[in-house]
Amino acid sequence: MALRLVDIGANLAHDSFDPDRATVLREAREAGVERIVITGSSVDSSLAAAKLAAEAPGFLYATAGMHPHHASDYDDAAHATFSNLASDGSVVAVGECGLDYFRNFSPREAQRDAFARQLDIAIETGLPVFLHERDAHDDYVEILKPRLAKISRAVAHCFTGTEQQLRTYIDMGLYIGITGWICDERRGSHLKEIVHLVPPDRLMLETDAPYLLPRSLRPKPKSRRNEPKYLPEVLHTVAEACGKSAESIAARTRQNACRFFGLGEDSG
């Protein structure tokens, strides 16, 4: 029997899923993924995520926010849209928001402003925050840390950083999201060595589909598209790295996700 899992971050509003989204969702359920949080990363994708979630209550949920790549588009109208979505029953977190200095698709000042304004929405609404950070650790901490006391909960989505950064985020009280990055023998080997440092009650799993297909997956899909049904590959890699059973990691991460996002009672 498949282990019961929650995928806390899947970009199911992505157009690569348009031809076969229903099949993707069915196969996710068959793989044991019983809840999926659909990531909003722009105004359009957040609206689409909320719509998808409203069509499958109890299975699909949404976040609403703007990825730092799109921060140049963050204006008063976008802010109002995200504020309104935050009161939608299908939306369970603000984000994906944060800073990304790896590619600087938006100017850094625009990224910092959009990040701070979205944190304000989280403070005003009491929703948790779904965070993104890449190559921007110091500015990210500088903006986030003073506000954390007023934010209900926050997760470092798709953590790929160093041991010191992980320790900093743990000390700040953040939850940690682990993706298929940990399955990459080239880029993710360091994650295997440090994931055990995450407190058991703050660890969560995610695919970031359609991105980050686990490189350890066999056989690899011809499309190279990641899907929620591949979350068990992340689970087993994390369990092995932590020296724990897959059953225990599945149960703990599922319970953590239900508590973090307010997804209702977990039945065990």
Does residue 173 contact residue 148 with C-beta atoms inside 8 Å? yes
pLDDT of 1: 67
Give the CATH number of the domain where residue 241 resides: 3.20.20.140
The answer as to whether 93 is a domain residue is yes
The answer as to whether 268 is a domain residue is no
Q: What's the total number of domains in the chain?
A: 1
The parent domain of residue 102 ranges over 5-261
The answer as to whether 266 is a domain residue is no
pLDDT confidence of 265, banded at 50, 70, 90? low
What digits encode the pLDDT tens for the residues 234-244?
999 999 999 99
The answer as to whether 66 is a domain residue is yes
What digits encode the pLDDT tens for the residues 34-83?
999 999 999 999 999 999 999 999 999 999 999 999 999 999 999 999 99
Please give the mean pLDDT across all residues of the chain: 97
The answer as to whether 50 is a domain residue is yes
Can you tell me the distance from the alpha carbon of 137 to that of 134, in angstroms, rounded to the nearest whole number? 7
Mean per-residue pLDDT, 139-168: 98
